[in-house]
Amino acid sequence: MKIDLTCPVELWQYTTPTESSPECGFVLNNLSAKVVTSVQATLICYGEDGQQLSRQIERVQGLHAGAGERFSIALVPTQWEGVKTIDLVIEKVWFDDATIWRRGSAPLTDYESNALPQGRKLDQLRFVAGADAEGYPQEQAHVWVCVCGRPNALHSDRCCRCERRRDTVFATCSQENVEQLNAVHEEKLAHMARAAREDASRLNEAREKTQQKSNRKKRAVRRTVITVVCLLLAGAAAMLWGVPALRYANAVSLLNDGRYDDARTALIAMDDYGNTAELLLECDYRQAGEWAQSEDTAMQQQAVDMYKQLGTYQDSSALYHQTLYAMGKTLLEGGVYDRAADAFQTLGNYEDSAEQLLEVQYLQAQKLLDNQSFIAARILFDDLGTYKDAKEKVLACYYGSAVDAMERENYATAIDMFTAAGDYVDAPQLLKTACYQQAEMLQQQGDYETAGTLYQQAGDYEDAALKANSCLYEVAKQYMNNEDYTKASVLFAGIVPYLDSEALSWECIYQKALIAVNVANYQQAIDLLLTIPDYEKANDLLSESRYQLAAQNAEAGNSSVAAELYEALGSYKDSEKQLRILRYAMAETAYEAGDYKTAAPLYGVLGKYKDSLTKWKQSLYAVATDELAAEEYRAAIEDFTALGSYEDSEVQAANATLALALALKTSGDTDEAISLLESLPDNAAAREQISEIMLGEATKAQASGDLEKASELYLALGDYNHADEYYKACQYQLGIQKMNAQDYRAAYTLLTALGEYEDAAALAKQCEEEAYGQYATPALTAYENKDWKTVIDTLENFDTNDLPKAYQDLVGMYEEACYRYAEELYGQGAVYEALPYYRRIPEYRNVSTVALQRSCYLILGIWESSDGENSAVFRSDGTCTLLGETLFFTVEDQTVSTDLTADAMTAAYEITAITDDLLTLSVLDESLSTSYMFERTGDAAAADLLITTTATPQPSNTPAATSTATATATAAPTAVPTATVSPDATDSE
């Protein structure tokens, strides 16, 4: 068997095709840690004699197999009749993180299955290893095979399927260990069976003795009665009725006095007199109760037996369980674990008997462990599963066995046991020691190969690594010298990069390939050489092997395989020539057999070789003709188009296109149908079909209420089948819809375009008034009267874009009115009342370059001196906060007048410099000659947010100068006005 060990997906199960079901079903297992979304595989089918019947590559998408999950795929082989066996080779695997695994050039690895047949051995193995066990673990030439049946790479320390550790698998699941564990388990079962049989025998014996005693007494009574009956017959009639009553009373008295044996004897002697049978049961019942009160386990056992014999008498069944439970507790406390376990096991689910049984087994196992009976203790602890620290104790048992084996210098057993002990205490370190010591012994005995492997397992223990490489290197060289290149290459590969081990490993594989070539096994040679792609020496041999394999397949009639090989060889030797010859021969064979579908691509790649071009056209034309007849229109279109002007290919391509369009039209895919038909502009039938499709789509759109789409389609159809009338109806309905939605402009446009259609003209007139008239009439009147404010208010939100010709006068009227009104206000001295209207038309005329560049507007904003000591805020409501005072202000030319009230402002400052970013104010008081330089830190809008709502001005002297670069005086203000500032104030506009 073969396997690709690098593949993240493995084949688990499969079914072969049958006549009734030509489908191959495959169950795959995701070995990776990612989600598999797609798989590409090569399916190869073989017949009775192993001959390849078919080979195909399939990709299965839409999968979602999580890490470790199994998933199913189904493939239908192209040739399924006569299929006996199949191969599935995974070529690519796609994952949900957009990564892709591709099958590389590494060869498949040979391995032998370890599966056991159904039977006792497999059952025993599964008892130890679990239900997924298939066979004993094996280490083979190229792989190690896990107990679950999965082959793994030799360097892998865990199984990629079940994730069992390699060391643990070989230690616990070997045939010897499995048989030992099963033997111990079977001995335990046998012991339990013997105990059960002894209990049953003891009870039967007691019952037999009681019955024999009863029979003897009955016979004695009969003899006595027979002897005296004749003597007393005449005169003892009255006594004959009185004696049994006296005996009965005596027996009852004995029973009440607790003399159960005497009472039982007396009652048995009375045979069936009165209710003696019931009194016998009562006697046993009372005696069992007396025994049950004892702390002696022997008497408790007698009580248990007696209660069991009594069966359903009174509450004997309940007392049986109660007494047996008490006896089990007594035995447990006394350390008699075997009998305690039997008691609790017999009780089953009675009270906490199951828990007590676990505790008994735990203590019994602990006692065995304390006595260093490690194997027996391990079996019991292992049976306990997760009870308490049983799993930890199992490891302790393995560890104890390992230490014991180490002391006896039985290092092989110690290695197995330490491996099974895992990470318990210092087991990993002692495992290395055991491996090292065993390796030392084997090296002295001359078993260098096993010694080297053990040295490797010893890891970093002392000089183990060096000795491992040394041993395995020498062994590998011996194998190599003896021409056992398989073992040699594996050993060399295992100690890379020691000395020249890698190169020697490659050389061994190369030599194996040479041997394969010499016996004409070229495929094996190729598989081997592909594992050493970096070995330059192998490249020529690889090419030659492929060349010879191609020739071999060509001679055997496997033309497709040979062609693939020749093609991969490129220009090696005469591969290209051989490939042409082979392809031409394959094409000719197919052509002569009428298999034009096979012949066409073969002739196609041959180009002008011989008569290939002519036969390619002939073959492809035949294929396309068949495709057209089979209604495979897309393929026919592609092939006829590829033929160009060959014969009537262009006509046939058009026919196929038309047929495909009609099929799409029937299925409802009208968009693609129209696209195809439009590619046939000179075809009258195509044009007719386009019109018919468009008319149908328009009708659908109209019926569904999509009037815009319907109008577009009707318009494109012109006068085809009254489409122009339908168009008008749709436009009319659209106009009504727009009118109802108060979109009068759109309604006016639609209805005006309809002319005299129904009442469209009258409705258009109504829409015109609503859309334009109600604005135009008052605006024009106000404009003529120079009532600029009314013009502005009327056209405030009026859209002047795309106006009808009759209303073109409104274009620019709003902007002109804003400008005129602003200029009028400014001329009247209402400087800041004019500002909002200038701001509405910044790009109109010279507003941005002249009007808004006036000092009265530029000064608006927030200003601060470079040292942060002086600030100024000028707002559009005519107030300012200047050098700490809240004032009213006006700006005329370059003069700034201020005061605490708006009625009597006086000139206080001169603007000596002003730009978008800088402001210089000079105090007009000649006695001070002070200047203030500011930088803008906020625009007019920011300043307006700081508009004051109330002010309580106080008398103030001339504003003082501060220490700035241009200050020339040091006078300071004596009073500062207070102000209440509202952050919620809005623009005066």
DSSP of 237-302, one letter per residue?
HHHHHHHHHHHHHHHHHHHHTT-HHHHHHHHHHTTTSTTHHHHHHHHHHHHHHHHHT-S-HHHHHH
Residue 980 has pLDDT above 60, yes or no: no
Can you tell me which residue has the tokens 């248990």?
304
Instruction: State mean pLDDT over 550-571.
Output: 92
Task: Note the maximum CA span of the chain.
Answer: 176
- pLDDT value at residue 12: 75
Interval 112-117 mean pLDDT: 90
Q: Sorting pLDDT into bands at 50, 70 and 90, what band is 52?
A: confident
Closest CA to 621 of 599, 592, 590: 599
Residue 237's pLDDT band (cuts 50, 70, 90) = very low
pLDDT digits (tens, 9 = 90+) for 881-938: 999 999 999 999 899 999 999 888 999 999 999 999 999 999 998 777 889 999 999 9
**Residues paired with residue 45 on neighbouring β-strands, in sequence order:** 54, 86
Going by the DSSP 8-state scheme, the letter that residue 910 receives in this structure is: E
pLDDT band of residue 197 (cuts 50, 70, 90) is low
Nearest to 449 by CA among 474, 432, 431: 474
Q: Element (H or E) spanning 659, and its range? A: helix 649-667
| Cis previous bond, 107, omega within 30 | no
Please give the average per-residue pLDDT across 203-220, as a whole number.
65
pLDDT at 68: 81
872 confidence band (pLDDT: 50, 70, 90): very high
pLDDT at position 682, please? Answer: 85
Q: What span, in angstroms and rounded, lies between the C-alpha atoms of 885 and 867?
A: 19
What's the whole-number mean pLDDT along residues 737-750?
93
* pLDDT band per the 50, 70, 90 thresholds, residue 940: very high
* Whether the predicted pLDDT of 964 surpasses 50: no
Q: pLDDT tier at 217 (50, 70, 90 boundaries)?
A: low
Main-chain phi, psi angles of 932, to 5 degrees? -125, 130
Picking from 81, 71, 82, the residue whose alpha carbon sits closest to that of residue 9 is 71
Whole-number pLDDT of residue 847? 95
Question: Residue 978 pLDDT more than 50?
Answer: no
pLDDT band at 982 (very low <50, low <70, confident <90, very high): very low
> With bands split at pLDDT 50, 70 and 90, how would you rate the model's confidence at 84?
confident
Tokens 């439970």 — which residue? 325
Tokens encoding 671: 């968009």
Radius of gyration of the chain (CA): 55
pLDDT at 346 over 60: yes
Q: Are residues 940 and 856 in contact, defined by beta-carbon separation less than 8 angstroms?
A: no
Greater model confidence, 221 or 884 = 884
In degrees rounded to 5, what are phi and psi of residue 12? -100, -55
pLDDT digits (tens, 9 = 90+) for 421-442: 999 999 999 999 999 999 999 9
Confidence (pLDDT) at 485: 92
Neighbours of 210 (CB within 10 A): 15
Instruction: Give the pLDDT confidence score for residue 977 in this predicted structure.
Output: 31
DSSP E strands in 861-953: the ranges are: 861-864, 871-874, 879-882, 885-892, 895-899, 906-914, 918-923, 931-938, 948-952
CA 124, CA 73: separation in Å to the nearest integer?
Answer: 34
Q: pLDDT confidence of 616, banded at 50, 70, 90? A: very high
Task: Determine the Cα–Cα distance for residues 371 and 362; give it in Å rounded to an integer.
Answer: 14
Q: What pLDDT is recorded for position 953?
A: 42
pLDDT of 192 = 58
Average pLDDT over residues 773-795: 94
* Percent of the chain whose pLDDT exceeds 90: 58
pLDDT: is 161 or 217 the higher one? 161
Model confidence band, residue 200 (pLDDT cutoffs 50, 70, 90): low
For residue 33, the tally of other CB atoms under 10 A from its CB is 10
Res 207: pLDDT? 65
pLDDT for res 218 = 60
Contact by Cβ (8 Å): 716, 730 = no
Chain-wide mean pLDDT for the chain? 86
More confident site: 925 or 973: 925
Query: Residues 238-266: what's their mean pLDDT?
Result: 78
pLDDT of residue 195: 61
Q: Is 35 exposed, middle or buried (0-12, 13-18, 19+ CB in 10 A)?
A: middle
* Three-class HEC string of 768-794: HHHHHHHHHHHHHHHHHCCCHHHHHHH
pTM for this prediction? 0.39
Task: Write the DSSP assignment of 437-491 as a string of letters.
Answer: HHHHHHHHTT-HHHHHHHHHHTTTSTTHHHHHHHHHHHHHHHHHHTT-HHHHHHH
27-31, 113-117, 205-209, 584-588: range with lowest mean pLDDT: 205-209
152, 145 Cβ separation under 8 angstroms = yes
The pLDDT value recorded for residue 4 is 82
pLDDT at 133 over 80: yes
The pLDDT assigned to 704 comes to 93
**Model pLDDT for residues 951-961, shown as the tens digit of each residue:** 434 333 333 33
